[in-house]
Amino acid sequence: MPEKLAGDIAVVGAGPAGMAAAVRAAEAGARVVLLDEGPRAGGQIWKHAASPPRGARPWIERLKRSRAVLRSGWQVVFAEPGRLFAEPVSGPAEEGVEVQCRVLVLATGARELFLPFPGWTLPGVVGVGAAQALVKSGLDVRGRRTVVAGSGPLLLAAAGALSSAGARVQLVAEQASRASVLAFAFGLAKQPGKLAAAAALRLKFPAARYRPGTWIASAEGNGSVERVLATDGRRSREIACDLLCCGYGLVPNLELPELLGCEVARGRVVVDDFQRTSVSSVFCAGEATGVGGVELALAEGEIAGLAAAGKAGEARSLFRRRSALTAFAASLDQAFALRPELKAAARGDTIVCRCEDVPLSRFAPSWSRRQAKLYTRAGMGPCQGRVCGPALEFLFGWGADSVRIPVRPASLASFLEISHSEKEGAATP
C-alpha cells in the first residue's frame, strides 16, 4: 500500500521555482509537501553531488529550516486537482506515495530540445545540459576534443564547465546570427551583472572559437563520434572531435499541467498575475510558464507559493521584479530563435524517433502528431515523445498530442493503485 500524505499545498519539482514556492508557502504557515525526481533539491540547473552551487545555498538552507516536507527521488505519474500519486525513481514501486492537498504548485521545469541531423545518435553525441550534468557527476573529459553547438546562453555555461574540467573545447557553434547575438549582448549593458557573468564564462575557454551563425550539419565516426561538419550555410568545415555537445534551447515540461487540464498556449502554461492556471486550485511557476532563467523562476516561485498560501499582498510586492525579468526572457526568445535552415539538416534516413528507430522518410508533412504515432509508433517509446515530439513540432509544425496517464513510465502496481483510488473517489457521495 502506498504511503498517504496530506498537506495544504503540494509542490512538484524542487528546482529554483519549486523550492522558492515551497519555502515561501511554508514560511507563511502552510503545510507543504515537495516532491522531486532528483536525489536532492536543486533541479537540473542546481544539480550537485555534494556541495550545492553558491546561488542555491540560501534557498536550500531556507528549505531545511522551513517545515516543508521534502521527498527526493519521487516521480509523479498521475495527478488531478487535490491529489497526486508518485512512485520512487528507483526502488519497489509498491512503496508509492499518494498526496492529498488543497492546492497544487507545478514547477516541472524544462528539458533540452534536440533536433535531428545525420550522426546525432552516435555515442559521444550528448545534450549540452546533459554534458554539464555528467561533468558534475564525475565524468572524466580531460583531453577530449570537444565541440559545443546549438543555441542559447547555455552553450557558454557548458563550454565553461567542460573547459574547467579539462576538455579541449575547440568550437562553440551558435546557430543564431551574429547580428542577433550582438544585439542581445548590447542589451545586456543595462544588466551589468548578467554581462559580467557571460564574460566570465567566455574567459573559461579563451582558446576556443565562438562562431555565431554556425550549426552542425552532420557527425561521423566508427562506433562513436570522431568528426563533425560545421556550416554557416555557405561554407562547411570538418572538425575532429571526441565529444559533441549539442542542444537547441529548452522545452517546457507540460505533461502534468496538460493532464490537469491547465490551458497551454505558445508552448507554455497560461497563468495570471499570481501564477494561477486556468484550473483554480493549480498554480504553475518556472520554465513551464516560459524559459527565462533562474532569477525569473525564483520570482515566479515566490509569487506562486505566497498566493497559494493566501498571502496575495506579499505576492503582489514581487510583481515589479518579475516584470523586469520577464522582459529579459522575451529578449532571449527573440535573439536565439531557431533558423529555418535547421529543418533541412536531417536526411531521409536520419533517425527522428530514437526509441522506435523511425527515420525522417517515414513521416508525411500532411499528417498530424496523432497520425505519426499511429502509423510509425513515433512517441510511443520509453521517453513517451519527450525527445521526438518537440523535434517533430519544429520540423512539421505538428501540435502536441493529448496527454494520458501515466505521465512517466510507471509500474503495474501504480496503475492498480491509481485505478483503485479513482473508484473509491467515484463511490464517495
Average pLDDT, integer, range 98-115: 95
pLDDT of the residue at 159: 95
105 and 49 in a common domain: yes
Residue 212, number of CB atoms within 10 A of its CB: 17
CA distances from 378 to 57, 201, 288, 344, 355 (A): 41, 38, 24, 20, 8
Domain boundary among 214, 247, 280: 247
Query: Is 70 exceeded by the pLDDT of residue 323?
Result: yes
pLDDT of the residue at 423: 54
Query: Is 80 exceeded by the pLDDT of residue 404?
Result: no
User: Could you tell me whether strands 145-150 and 243-247 are parallel, antiparallel, or unpaired per DSSP bridges?
Assistant: parallel
pLDDT of the residue at 125: 97
pLDDT band, very low/low/confident/very high, at 429 (cuts 50, 70, 90): very low
pLDDT band, very low/low/confident/very high, at 2 (cuts 50, 70, 90): confident
Residues 38 and 90: their CA atoms lie apart, in Å, by 11
316 and 270 in a common domain: yes
Residues 297 and 287: their CA atoms lie apart, in Å, by 7
* Percentage with pLDDT > 70 across the chain: 93
171 and 243 in a common domain: yes
Backbone phi, psi, residue 355, to 5°: -65, -40
Query: Is 80 exceeded by the pLDDT of residue 421?
Result: no
Q: Which three cell numbers stand for residue 179?
A: 547580428
pLDDT band, very low/low/confident/very high, at 362 (cuts 50, 70, 90): very high
pLDDT of the residue at 199: 85
- Residue 406: inside a domain: no
Residues 276 and 262: their CA atoms lie apart, in Å, by 10
236 and 283 in a common domain: no
Domain boundary among 247, 270, 290: 247
Residue 273, number of CB atoms within 10 A of its CB: 13
**Count of domains observed in the chain:** 3
- Residue 66: inside a domain: yes
Q: Which of the pair, 3 or 12, is modelled with greater confidence? A: 12
Residues 6+ apart with CB under 8 A from 14: 22, 34, 35, 36, 38, 41, 42, 43, 63, 70, 72, 107
264 and 243 in a common domain: no
Residues 392 and 383: their CA atoms lie apart, in Å, by 14
* Percentage with pLDDT > 90 across the chain: 71
Q: Which of the pair, 22 or 90, is modelled with greater confidence? A: 22
175 and 101 in a common domain: no
Average pLDDT, integer, range 114-131: 96
Q: Quick one: 396 exposed, middle or buried, by C-beta within 10 A (0-12, 13-18, 19+)?
A: middle
Residues 101 and 97: their CA atoms lie apart, in Å, by 13
Average pLDDT, integer, range 41-70: 87
Average pLDDT, integer, range 98-123: 96
Residue 211, number of CB atoms within 10 A of its CB: 17
pLDDT of the residue at 243: 97
Average pLDDT, integer, range 196-203: 86
Q: Which three cell numbers stand for residue 385?
A: 515523445
Query: Is 50 exceeded by the pLDDT of residue 428?
Result: no
Range list of H helices, 309-364: 312-316, 319-335
pLDDT of the residue at 419: 63
- Residue 388: inside a domain: yes
- Residue 409: inside a domain: no
28 and 82 in a common domain: yes
353 and 241 in a common domain: no
Query: Is 70 exceeded by the pLDDT of residue 307?
Result: yes
229 and 158 in a common domain: yes
pLDDT of the residue at 1: 64
Domain boundary among 309, 333, 357: 333
Range of the domain at 226: 125-247
pLDDT band, very low/low/confident/very high, at 52 (cuts 50, 70, 90): confident
Residues 198 and 206: their CA atoms lie apart, in Å, by 13
193 and 145 in a common domain: yes
Closest CA to 19 of 57, 48, 51: 57
pLDDT band, very low/low/confident/very high, at 114 (cuts 50, 70, 90): very high
pLDDT in tens, 182-193: 998 888 877 778
Residues 270 and 287: their CA atoms lie apart, in Å, by 12
DSSP annotation of 111 reads E
3-state SS assignment for residue 244: strand
Average pLDDT, integer, range 4-20: 95
CATH of the domain at 301: 3.50.50.60
Average pLDDT, integer, range 355-360: 96
CB 301 within 8 A of CB 17: yes
pLDDT of the residue at 413: 66
**Amino acid in the structure at residue 176:** A
Query: Is 50 exceeded by the pLDDT of residue 94?
Result: yes
Average pLDDT, integer, range 139-166: 94
- Residue 241: inside a domain: yes
Query: Is 70 exceeded by the pLDDT of residue 420?
Result: no
- The rounded mean pLDDT for the chain is 91
Query: Which strand (E) or helix (H) includes residue 102?
Result: strand 97-106
- Helices 319-335 + 178-187 axis angle, to 10: 160
- Residue 368: inside a domain: yes
172 and 76 in a common domain: no
Q: Which three cell numbers stand for residue 323?
A: 516584470
3-state SS assignment for residue 414: helix
Query: Is 80 exceeded by the pLDDT of residue 168?
Result: yes
Query: Which strand (E) or helix (H) includes residue 269?
Result: strand 268-269
142 and 48 in a common domain: no
pLDDT band, very low/low/confident/very high, at 54 (cuts 50, 70, 90): confident
Residues in the chain: 429
pLDDT of the residue at 28: 96
